[in-house]
């Protein structure tokens, strides 16, 4: 059966954040022959039986009757994958897209925001699991690579001396409890992926006088990984200035401290914003007189106070400012000049292109939700370039067992 037919028949529709029944079902559909079906099959079969009863579907709800599935979605998994990865804090799937392009098979996905889940399912045919704090590390399949664009929350670092006096453990993992990074760390500790890739805002390095980053890196080292990190700018891959820190960890016991990893060299590309713009955008994206006057007056007031706040009227022959999740409010950080009329904001499709998503990527949500999603996403070709460097380490013979594990 085609996946679109199954979706229609079973009414696969995301209406709330925690729809783990659908997550189990779609994860099983994707992983029924690659050796990790035991993580999903029983709850998937149970959910399917309930679904048949609710929808009054007459035939026996045998899960095998839906297999094999023709994945008529924009971005199906590779048929002969080279490695397995999991996608945490997955957003709308920018990392998945990049690493599928490199031959990777995604075997587990988690994303809390259900609008993002809608977009993810529409493009990959898989419903992400919800709140990662409620997911046991024991329910996550084995994988070669862990990927996460994790949120940076404030760390409250407990005093080691106080813990010692109380006879309590004082490892770095213990000190990160109460943050979402702790959930990443506990999964890494339990599953021991050979490699992980973490992405965050560049200010993570300097946050709290560098104490936050020191805690994160020390925690990861304590878990047995060699750490490589660098702040990378997306402007060499798309026409957008977007700096993010990328942290790569290689499992010491697997690579014997000899991974020989380097970040990608900066390509020499002359990228222009005008190249990703629609020639005839809808009029609704042009700023109203009231909003345009407000933004101009707001900028004048802050300039008089010596502040740098204001709108960004973009040079179409260059790259833009950083697209943020707040772009839906007024579009002020990236405004497109127009002849004889007020400037306009980017369309959602242009935002997708600004992050390196191909035009066949489906946008099934409202404009406001789309702006949030692309503003929170990653620059896909940049992350794919980082992934290529990881694959080079895989190809050195150190990772020769991966192809065999995929088919087991």
Structure-block tokens of residue 368: 């406001």
Beta-strand ranges (E) seen in 30-162 are 83-88, 104-110, 145-148
Residues 359-397: b if buried by 16+ CB within 10 A, e if exposed: eebbbebeeebbbbbbbbbbbbbbbbbbbeebbebbeee
* Among 102, 215, 204, 93, CA closest to 160: 215
152, 157, 214, 316: the active-site residue:
152
Angle between helices 367-375 and 114-124 (to 10 degrees): 80
Rounded Cα distance, 338 and 29, in Å: 48
> Is 351 one of the catalytic residues?
no
The answer to whether 180 and 132 are in contact (CB under 8 A) is yes
Distance of CA 237 to the CA centre of its chain: 17
DSSP code for 240: B
Q: Count the Cβ atoms, other than its own, within 10 Å of residue 270.
A: 9
Alpha-carbon distance of 160 to 408, in angstroms, equals: 45
Q: Would you name the residues annotated as active-site residues?
A: 152
């Amino acid at each position: 059966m085609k996946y679109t037919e199954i979706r229609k028949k079973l009414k696969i529709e995301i209406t709330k954040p925690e729809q783990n029944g659908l997550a189990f079902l779609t994860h099983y559909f994707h992983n029924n022959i690659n050796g990790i079906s035991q993580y999903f099959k029983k709850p998937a079969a149970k959910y399917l039986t309930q679904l048949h009863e609710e929808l009054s579907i007459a035939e026996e709800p045998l899960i095998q009757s839906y297999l094999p599935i023709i994945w008529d979605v924009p971005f199906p998994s590779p048929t002969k994958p080279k490695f397995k990865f999991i996608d945490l804090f997955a957003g709308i799937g920018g990392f998945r897209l990049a690493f599928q392009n490199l031959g990777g098979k995604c075997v587990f996905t988690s994303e809390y925001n259900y609008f993002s889940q809608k977009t993810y399912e529409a493009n990959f045919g898989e419903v992400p699991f919800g709140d990662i704090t409620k997911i046991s590390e024991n329910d996550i399949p084995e994988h070669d690579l862990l990927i996460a664009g994790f949120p940076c929350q404030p760390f409250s670092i407990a005093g080691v001396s106080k813990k010692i006096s109380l006879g309590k453990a004082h490892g770095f993992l213990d000190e990160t409890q109460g943050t979402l990074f702790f959930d990443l760390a506990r999964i890494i500790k339990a599953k021991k992926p050979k490699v992980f890739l973490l992405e965050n805002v560049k200010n993570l390095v300097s946050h709290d006088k560098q104490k936050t980053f020191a805690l994160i890196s020390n925690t990861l080292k304590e878990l047995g990984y060699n750490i490589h990190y660098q702040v990378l700018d997306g402007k060499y891959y798309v026409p957008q200035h977007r700096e993010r820190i990328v942290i790569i960890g290689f499992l010491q016991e697997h690579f014997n401290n000899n991974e020989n990893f380097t970040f990608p060299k900066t390509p020499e590309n002359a990228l222009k914003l005008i190249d990703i713009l629609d020639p005839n955008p809808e009029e609704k994206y042009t700023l109203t007189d009231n909003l345009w006057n407000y933004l101009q007056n707001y900028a004048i007031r802050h300039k008089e106070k010596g502040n740098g706040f204001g709108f960004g009227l973009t040079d179409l022959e260059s790259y833009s400012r950083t697209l943020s999740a707040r772009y839906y409010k007024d579009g002020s950080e990236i405004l497109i000049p127009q002849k004889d009329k007020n400037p306009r904001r980017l369309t959602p499709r242009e935002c997708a292109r600004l992050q390196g998503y191909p035009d066949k990527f489906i946008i099934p949500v409202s404009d406001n939700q789309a702006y949030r999603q692309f503003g929170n996403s990653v620059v896909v070709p940049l992350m794919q370039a980082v992934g290529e460097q990881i694959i080079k380490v895989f190809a050195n013979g150190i990772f020769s067992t991966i192809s065999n594990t995929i088919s087991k």
